[in-house]
Structure 1
Amino acid sequence: MSALSTLFLASCLVWMSGAQTAFKRVAEENVTLPCHHRLGLLEPRSLDIEWLLHDSKANQKVVITYSGGNVYNEVNEGQKGRVSFTSNFLAGDASLQIVSLQPSDAGQYTCKVKNAGQYEWHHITLTVLEKPSKPKCWVEGELSEGKELSLQCNSASGTAPILYQWQRISDEEGKMEHLPPTARVNFSNPGQVLMKNLTQMATGLYQCTAYNEAGQENCFVQVTVQYARSIGMVAGAVCGVLVGLSLVFLIVWLTIRRKEKKRYEEEEAPNEIREDAEAPKARLVKPSSSSSGSRSSRSGSSSTRSTANSASRSQRTLSTEATPHITPSRYSRVETEGREIDPKKVNHATLVKMGATPVMLPAQSRAFQTV
């Protein structure tokens, strides 16, 4: 090889060694990190290629190597089975391919090529972006008019910075709307929206979007503001119904009690024990001297009849002890409205109206008075 060609090759190696490239990829995607060299033409048998990784913790790991005619691609446990050379690395293309990128693949990669005492190297920075995880949405506070609440949204993982955006979804065709005028975003916590002095305008479906360079994810929450006045009206209506039922029950109970009391008085009035009135005294007629003979002749029969009459009257008196008797006034005959009334024909009610005094007489005394 001439000196001119050697000098040209050396200058190219110096230019290539100073080249550095940065890549950004999203997790789960594939990437190819370039590494081109010219040392394969010198001594193919002595060619040596090595890829190294300096991760975020400044740890150096071997990714893949070619040495002594063999390829070793299972050196790094975390990248085993996911790394390989893209094409004919002996001809000058030692690019590295990584499939199904993971956040741990991020870092600075160095490609080193050595052959016949000559070196080439390339530095490539790989950034692996992770999309925000599915965020969680919830509501904190009281869903009533005049109260306040906060809408919360949080994504557990993803490449920082993760940004949040709240929107309200319209009922018509699912269009996005701005937040109500009373809503304010908490800048110290972008995933939180504060809503004060709630009104019915705040009712609706809200969407939170968590996003970064890698992508975005959404979550939804329903807000339903309750009528404060409707709650008071319902409570008042319930109280009114209870009071009305109580009044109706009280009226019915009083009516039933009054009827029972009246029926009890009507049933007790006829059962009252009244004192018997004084029975009329029997008038004894003194017999004349002319009838002394007949009296003596009838004494036997009269005494027998008197004895029988006394026994019958005693029996009647015993059977009618509980029957009230009313004694008429001092006169044997009573005048009522200009006509005479026979005491024997005067009934109980008439005597009461005329002011007769009821007197209860024992049966034995009545019997002796009528003898």
Structure 2
Amino acid sequence: MCFFFCLCFCTVLLSLLSAKAQTEMKRVVGDNATLPCHHQFWQSNGQTLDIEWLLQKPNVKQRVIITFFNNEVYTNDNHASRLSFAGDYLNGDASLLISDLQLSDSGQYHCKVKTGGKYHWSGVTLIVLVKPSKPRCWMEGRLLEGSDVKLSCKSSDGSDPIRYKWERVLEKGKSVGKLPTLALIDLKNPEVVTLRNLTQDSSGLYRCSASNDVGEENCIIEVTMQYVRGMGVVAGAVVGVSFGVLLLILIIWLVFRKKEKKKYEEEETPNEIREDAEAPKAKLVKPNSLSSSRSGSSRSGASSTQSMVHNSVPRAQRPRPPPAVTALKENGQPHGFPQSPPAYTQVVPKTPEPPNTPKFRPPLPPVVLGIQPGVMVPAQSKAFQTV
């Protein structure tokens, strides 16, 4: 009696659990999914069998997507090509097959089997996920010894949550090692890792993996150190380049300045005398020759005058000149003075003066000239100073 009671209790409990069973299934977009539904109702003894699959989404009214009624299968127009019964639904297998899954297929599916007033319920929660797309890796910072570099990666598509993980690739991808000791991982953004105080040991390959419940993808980036001799070299290079640029600007300015000055001189030159006028040439004349020429001219003038006077005065009345005058006429200089040595002096020509109008001098006493008073004697011509 007790055994029979326990068996009945277990049967009822199993039936209740099967009626309320809920399973969860995760699939990837593009795959096929089979939602299980098994019952113990067979179409026999003239009883009808009705099968319905219903879809329930958050904040959306429940709707029928496929049904078997009156020996006919009916499907929703939106899912007609992708929905079908996966097994022999008339003999206990009313599982649903969904082909080419899409994100919109996610939701709670309920299977209801009815025959002769008896019901069988089962439910499946389908979660359609998107596999992470291949992430993109990039680097920010300068690959210089002692500096910091930030490594980042990101998948453009994929169902949340997406988990990121950075690793170091050793021996050309054959093994994976830990990140450098000074590497810093941002817990809020695990897709970002900072390599601090770079050294030669920091060089190598780094891999970022992006994964979720349905798949995983990764990308690889290479870190190569660049060596610099020191900050002094960098500063010197910067100063040298700056000085070169300034020098080039100065040279260009000087060239333009010189061109402008040359152009200005060419414009002003026609208004100026380019060369000084040549000074008139001077001749060197001996003082004795000049004095002799002067004395000769004066003697010729005096002789002509005296001849005129002598011709007009009787020979007996002509007075003799004093001895000093006679000596002066013969030697060209006063008696008793030493004769000066011959020398050359430069005579600068002067601008020709207009001819002087002959003037009459008052007559000298008859004793000096040896003529009688009242006789007019023409003035002696002035000797030329320049030749």
TM class by shorter chain equals: 0.5 to 0.7
Instruction: Indicate the residue corresponding to 2:265 in structure 1.
Output: none
**Secondary structure at 2:64 match in 1:** strand
1:164–1:211 Cα contact (<8 Å) kept: yes
How is 1:148-159 mapped onto 2 (pairs within 5 angstroms)? 148-159=148-159
1:126: how far off? 2.6
TM-score of the pair, normalised by structure 1: 0.60
CA deviation vs aligned residue, 1:307-366 (integer Å, no higher than 9, x gap): xxxxxxxxxxxxxxxxxxxxxxx9853xxxxxxxx657xxxxxxxxxxx7x552426589
Say which of 17, 31, 40 aligns to 2:33: 31
Q: Which amino acid aligns with 1:362?
A: K
Alpha-carbon spacing, 1:332–1:220, altered in 2? closer, same or farther (3 Å):
farther
Provide TM-score, normalisation by structure 2.
0.57
Identity %: 39
CA offsets, 1:253-302, max 9 Å, x none? xxxxxxxxxxxxxxx99988499588523233798xxxx99x969xxxxx
Matches within 5 A, 1:282-301: 282-283=291-292, 284=295
1:190-201 matches, within 5 Å, as 190-197=190-197
Return the alpha-carbon distance in structure 2 between the equivalents of residues 111 and 220 of structure 1. 47
> 238, 241, 261: which is aligned to 2:241?
238
1:111-142 alpha-carbon deviations (Å, 9 max, x no partner): 11111111112222333332123334444456
Correspondence for 2:364: none
Say which of 46, 51, 55 aligns to 1:49. Answer: 51
Which residue matches 2:348?
Answer: 360
Distance, in Å, in 2 between the alignment partners of 1:81 and 1:38 is 28
Deviation (angstroms), 1:16: 3.9
Q: 1:276 to 1:161 in 2, by over 3 A?
A: same
Pair 49,215 (structure 1): closer, same or farther in 2 beyond 3 Å:
same
Per the alignment, residue 126 of structure 2 pairs with 126
Tell whether the 8 Å contact from 1:278 to 1:361 is kept in structure 2 after alignment: no
Structure 1, gaps ≥5 residues long: 1-6, 250-267, 298-329, 334-341, 345-355
Residues of 1 paired with 2:91 and 2:177: CA distance? 59
CA drift of 1:17 comes to 2.6
2:166 is the alignment partner of 1:161: no
3-state SS of 1:166 partner: strand
Counterpart contact for 1:56–1:106, Cα < 8 Å: no
Pair 1:66–1:41, CA change in 2 (3 A) = closer
Q: Give, in whole Å, the separation in 2 of the partners of 1:194 and 1:154.
A: 15
Deviating above 6 A after TM superposition, structure 1's stretches of 4 or more consecutive aligned residues are 242-249, 268-272
Deviations 1:213-245 (A, max 9, x none): 211223455666764745434334435667898
The one-letter code of the counterpart of 1:31 is A
TM-superposed deviation, 1:155? 2.6
Which structure's residues are more often helix, by fraction?
Answer: 1
Relative distance call for 1:173 and 1:26 in structure 2 (3 A) is closer
Instruction: Flag the 1:248–1:153 CA change in 2: closer, same or farther, 3 A.
Output: closer
Instruction: Say whether the 8 Å CA contact 2:31–2:101 is kept in structure 1.
Output: yes
